[in-house]
Structure 1
Amino acid sequence: MRMETFESFDGTRLALHRTGEGRPLLLLHGLFSSAEMNWIKWGHAQIIAERGYEVLMLDFRVHGESAAPRDEDAYPENVLVRDVASLAEHLALEDYDLGGFSLGARTSLHAVANGVLHPSRLIVGGMGTAGLGEWVKRAAYFKRVIDEFENIPRGDPAYFSMQFLKSQGVDRVAARLLLDTMTDLELAKLANVTMPTLVVCGDEDHDNGSAEDLAGLLPDATYVKVPGTHMGSVTKPELGQAMADWLGNPA
């Protein structure tokens, strides 16, 4: 595993974790998580790398080893899409695959549906139709977690989210700024996602709506269920195995 940094479009320094050799696969993690927490810790990156891929894992701004600026100017609309595009340009990626979990899946679909990125294949993990078209509702939930942080009582549905945020050491000021940069994706634009796509989701994961319905809106999608809830499925080996099996060995 190798870690390096690069400057995004606005000079913000972002972390990139790399492992393996071969065909490039760019992976994007979930909200308030990191490459380490989603892809490295549970072995998903390793199992995919063993198939003959170089797995390239970005830490979004405000996450992991990347910078968390507190300046409002560092948070233009769809800033994460712009960061991923900057990484693709930095690496001079042309023929590559792209995947993401939760926020990473959402960011990937935004980038592809709007013609910003053009991967050969796409993996969408832990995402459904509601996660694309009802962001204001989701953002309000996470803003409450940030604003009421230490005052959220045990038993409150937001308590676990608060504990996870705390465990990851996320800068709450920067995180709140980031939440306002994300926009809804018109579901009609999913027609632009024409490459082969794996939609993979936990069998108890309903956090972002129906993943099966999302797969039905994509022109060339395969839907696979793995065990677990939204937070639990990413910790289980079946997620990485499903991704590796669908990708197969590079030609």
Structure 2
Amino acid sequence: MTTENFQSFDGTTLALHRMGEGRPVVLLHGLFSNADMNWIRFGHAQQIAEQGYEVLMPDFRVHGQSEAPHGVENYPSGVLVKDVVALVEHLRLIDYDLAGFSLGARTAIHGVATGRLAPQRLILGGMGVDGLREWDKRAAFFIRVIDEFDAIPKGDPAYFSMQFLKSQKVDRTAARLLLGSMENLDPAELANIACPTLVVCGDEDSDNGSAQELAAMLPDATYAEVPGTHMSSVTKPDLGRAMAQWLGPAKR
């Protein structure tokens, strides 16, 4: 695996991790996680690379090895979609596949549904319809985590999330700005996603609503279930296996 940097649309430096050779697959990680935590550490990227793909894994701004600027101007509406578009343009990708988990899936959906991203195939992990249309509720939860942070007591539903942010060394000032940049998506726009899509979710994961409902609303979707909750499903090999099997061996 190699790691390099590229400049996004506003000059923010983002980290890009690459593994394997062949047809490109872009993997987008979840909120306050990073490429290593979601894709590399538990072998998902390796399983996909072994099928003959080059796996491209950016760290979103405010995450992992990427910059976390504090300027309000660095967080326009839809900033993460803009970052992925910048990556696609930087690498001059035309024929590629796109996958995301949780926030990464949400970002991918927004990009494809609005025509700003055009992958040949799409994989959406840990995402349901509620995660698209009720973002305000999700954002409010994390804003409370950021604002109250060390004052959150054990036993509080937000305590685990606070500990996770602390473990990932998340820049809370930048994170709060990022949370305000994300928009809801009208579920009717899902009809714009015409490419073949895999919706994959843990059998105990309802954090973002029903993934089966999401699959049913997409024009060409397959639903797959893997073991785990929203947090634990990414730690099990089943997720990477389901993704790699659905993609199949890369065509040479």
- What displacement does 1:194 show? 0.5
Q: Look up the SS of the partner of 2:118 in the other structure.
A: coil
Post-superposition CA distance 1:229-251 (Å, at most 9, x none): 00000100000000000000012
Residue in 2 that maps onto 1:157: 157
- Cα-to-partner distance string for 1:5-32 (whole Å, 9 max, x where unaligned): 0000000000000000000000000000
Residue in structure 1 matched with residue 74 of structure 2 by the alignment: 74
Match of 1:235 in 2: 235
Residues of 1 paired with 2:173 and 2:122: CA distance?
A: 32
Aligned residue number for residue 133 of structure 1: 133
Aligned pairs, how many?
A: 251
TM normalised by structure 2 equals: 0.99
Counterpart of 1:180 in structure 2 is: 180
How far does the alpha carbon of each residue in 1:200-251 deviate from its partner, in whole angstroms, 9 at most, with x for none? 0000001000000000000000000000000000100000000000000012
Structure 1 segments, 4+ long, off by >6 Å, are: none
Paired residues for 1:30-69 under 5 Å: 30-69=30-69
Question: Which residue identity lines up with residue 213 of structure 2 in the other structure?
Answer: D
Q: 2:175 is paired with a residue of what secondary structure?
A: helix
Equivalent positions of 1:73-112 (< 5 A) are 73-112=73-112
Distance, in Å, in 1 between the alignment partners of 2:4 and 2:185 is 31
SS at match of 2:116: coil
Separation in 2 of the partners of 1:112 and 1:47?
Answer: 25
DSSP 3-state at the match of 1:231: coil
Q: Name the residue aligned to 1:215.
A: 215
1:23-34 equivalences in 2 (<5 Å): 23-34=23-34
TM-score, length-scaled by structure 1: 1.00
SS in 1 for 2:146: helix
Paired residue type of 1:247: L
Q: Tell me how far apart the structure 2 counterparts of residues 86 and 107 of structure 1 sit (CA, whole Å).
A: 13
Amino-acid identity (%): 71
**Separation of aligned partners in 2, 1:31 and 1:199:** 18
What residue in structure 2 maps to residue 121 of structure 1? 121
Deviations 1:182-212 (A, max 9, x none): 0001100000100000000000001000000
CA RMSD of aligned residues (A): 0.4
Measure the CA separation in 2 of the matches of 1:30 and 1:106. Answer: 9
Partner Cα distance (2:225, 2:113) in 1: 24
The code of the aligned residue for 2:78 comes to: N
Amino acid at match of 1:42: F
1:15: which partner in 2? 15
Q: Secondary structure at the match of 2:228?
A: coil
Amino acid at match of 1:138: R
Write the deviation string for residues 132-191 of structure 1: whole angstroms up to 9, x where unpaired.
000000000000000010011111111110111000010000000000000001100000
Secondary structure at the counterpart of residue 143 of structure 1: helix
Q: Distance in 2 between matches of 1:225 and 1:29?
A: 19
Give the letter aligned to residue 198 of structure 1.
L
- For structure 1, list consecutive stretches of 5 or more residues without a partner in the other structure: none
Which SS does the other structure have where 2:235 is aligned? coil
Q: Aligned with 1:6: secondary structure?
A: strand
Letter in 2 for 1:134: E
